[in-house]
Structure 1
């Protein structure tokens, strides 16, 4: 099982973006990572900064952690590719039909995933895949 450190997970996005910008050969996972970064121009300067992997992002300071955001996107891309939890792909497609935009639909899924992870951590329980898929369906209005 792949279990990167915080710095390794962050460095993945930094490296994927750098390689993309320099037109270097990327692994399939780096292609996905670079594509996610491309959809978030607000993160480009951060990912190009030399100290970005060490930076702390505090929700108490009103900061969004861009590395967490991108990592959740990456997790969702994998979930969609294997339809795990079951039904996530269909629920996502419903969100996409509602928005008419893939990235906006991904943000609906990301919000539902973030809430599901938060509940699991709060309750010290496993992630509830059924509740997660249902939350995505609700965002789609179905």
Structure 2
């Protein structure tokens, strides 16, 4: 299993963004990472300065969302939907996407995934994949 360090994740997104800006070929997950970054103009300045980005900390107590966590969750969701893992996540996403902008639909999944991960960490248990899918389905039925 691939377990990148914080620095590796941050450099991955910064490098993909730089390649995108420089119109260099993107390979593998860089394509998706650059697309996700392009949809987040609020992060463009940060991504353009990899050395600064690697060393910066964002703390929830200060009301800050870690942009690399946000981008990484987008990447995870893209992968989940593409392979329908956990089972049912693709259909739940498509139901949301039928009612809203695809990026906004991804943000609904982000919220549900973040809550599911937080619950697992709080309870010292593995993530409940079905609870995650059910949360997305509930959101889809309300919108």
Normalising by the smaller structure, the TM-score range is over 0.9
Aligned partners of 2:139 and 2:74: how far apart in 1? 17
**TM-aligned CA deviation for residue 91 of structure 1:** 0.4
Q: Give yes or no for the alignment of 1:64 onto 2:40.
A: no
| Structure 1 segments (4+ residues) deviating >2 Å | none
TM-score normalised by length of structure 2: 0.96
Output one character per residue of 1:70-99: Cα deviation in whole Å (capped at 9) or x when no partner.
Answer: 000000011011100000000001111121
2:7 maps to: 7
1:42 maps to: 42
Aligned partners of 2:65 and 2:138: how far apart in 1? 24
Aligned partners of 2:73 and 2:111: how far apart in 1? 9
**TM-aligned CA deviation for residue 42 of structure 1:** 0.3
Structure 1's unaligned 5+ residue stretches are none
Output one character per residue of 1:8-66: Cα deviation in whole Å (capped at 9) or x when no partner.
Answer: 01110000000000011111210100000000000001111231111000000010100
Q: What RMSD over aligned residues (CA atoms) do the two structures have, in Å?
A: 0.8
Structure 2's unaligned 5+ residue stretches are none
